Amino acid sequence: MAKTKYKGVYTDNNGGFFYHIELGVDKVTGERIQKKARKNSNGEKFKSAREANKEATRIRNEYLSQNGYANYRLKFGEFMDLFFLPHYESNVEESTWIARKHVFEIITERFSDKVLREIDIRDCEAFRTWLLNEPDYSQNYAGMIYGAFRQVMEYAVTLEFLEKNISKKTKAIAKVKSVVGYWVKEEFEKVISVIYIQNFYEHMCFVAIWLYFMTGVRVSEGLALYWNDVDFEKKKLRIHHTLQSKSSKEFVRKPYTKTVDGIRTISLDDDTLEILKIWKQRQSEHGIEDFILSYTGLPVHRSTIPRIVTRYAKIAKVKDIQAKGLRHSHVSYLINEFNADVLVVAQRLGHSSPEITLKHYAHLWSRNDEPLAEKMAGNIKFNFSKETYMDFNGNQNIKMELVPYQNPTIGENK
């Protein structure tokens, strides 16, 4: 028998999965209540530790519901370990779980020894104030932590440990709209001009920066691209996968994107196609066949892209941006250079509607009305009146101007 990463879930000597969990203590006999199984409610054997954990979570919750643990003096830390964390982990993507683990650790550390039912509104408000003032957290990160805390308390209500979510009586921490930096065309040109592509690794860095800037794909989408996603004849790029990785050797290429509408096919320009052809040939000389962004045969880790961006931004002496800033840079490029329509931009980015595109990128269209303003000049035709038609009965302290005034020629018909 071997432990898995899930609490109470194990593998046997034959590689089979099972759970063995404790549900509490029998109030009559004082004996521990345990449950062990190798199959789910449909009588099917567990195919993974995740499946076993999901069933164990269901059994815990079902037992709780049937046996009325509402008055049990459970501590917050115990509730997190026994109920919330197994539930959360079994219901979200692994990447989401990894990203949120630290958030729940912060919350657990704050309330670990506190009896769940004794957490009151003052505790909630004190936690909210602490997040905003004490740690070196951005307001958005503090808001995410407090939102997660409210989610935990709501789940305690669902399981009938609490009668109501007391944290909802406090205000949520407002999200501040963050401005993502991006490169304009001239900055991008400076960056790619300092990359020495004779070096194999630097050549990959060049391809990575070029590909993200010219296509607007998300970081995880770009990392997952295979060569068979490129149609050199039809000049198309198919974006159908995302890459989730713990390390360069431990990764999963998932057959979907961040959203359903993220699965898309976009057009590629001739320059990008030529750059990709050259890189494909060079990769093949090193025995690399699958991933476009690879110099070892394995995909590069997600953290590699921001390091590449930062390194060459410093060398080129342009502002440093986040990796996702290349996606914003693509939008800026399309708008400022080609006056791209919002529908086209939305399609290339994989948004479900133009409204989503405008929500995130409306500020990039700020210069889009300059040609319109130029066309407006002189379009309205009129002549100023040579006499007044107004019977003035207003403020008598305002005297009528008697000095002759030369009418301007704005809009005047000639």
Rounded distance between C-alpha atoms, residue 313 and residue 13, angstroms: 53
Which tokens belong to 234?
Answer: 């039809």
The total domain count for the chain is 3
User: Does 97 map to a domain?
Assistant: yes
Rounded distance between C-alpha atoms, residue 391 and residue 178, angstroms: 55
Q: What is the pLDDT of residue 367?
A: 62
Rounded distance between C-alpha atoms, residue 409 and residue 338, angstroms: 35
Whether residues 172 and 192 fall in one domain:
no
CATH number where 222 lies? 1.10.443.10
Which tokens belong to 8?
Answer: 């109470």
H-only helix segments in 170-269: 185-192, 200-215, 219-223
Tens of pLDDT, residues 348-375 = 998 888 888 887 777 777 666 677 777 8
Say which range, 12-26, 142-156, 289-303, has the weakest mean pLDDT. 12-26
**Residue 230, SS3 per DSSP:** strand
Q: Are strands 230-231 and 32-37 parallel, antiparallel or unpaired?
A: unpaired
Tell me the average pLDDT of the chain. Answer: 87
**Residue 362, SS3 per DSSP:** helix
Q: What is the pLDDT of residue 27?
A: 54
User: Does 57 map to a domain?
Assistant: no
User: Does 260 map to a domain?
Assistant: yes
Rounded distance between C-alpha atoms, residue 282 and residue 200, angstroms: 8
Q: What is the pTM of this model?
A: 0.65
Composition of the chain by helix, strand, coil, percent to 5:
45, 10, 40
Tens of pLDDT, residues 145-199 = 999 999 999 999 988 888 899 999 999 999 887 778 999 999 999 999 999 999 9
User: Does 391 map to a domain?
Assistant: no
User: Does 195 map to a domain?
Assistant: yes
Whether residues 158 and 199 fall in one domain:
no
User: Does 406 map to a domain?
Assistant: no
142 is in which domain, residue-wise?
68-178
Whether residues 87 and 216 fall in one domain:
no
Whether residues 352 and 253 fall in one domain:
yes
Whether residues 171 and 192 fall in one domain:
no
Question: Is the confidence at residue 389, as pLDDT, over 90?
Answer: no
**Residue 33, SS3 per DSSP:** strand
Say which range, 98-102, 123-127, 301-305, 406-410, has the weakest mean pLDDT. 406-410
User: Does 378 map to a domain?
Assistant: no
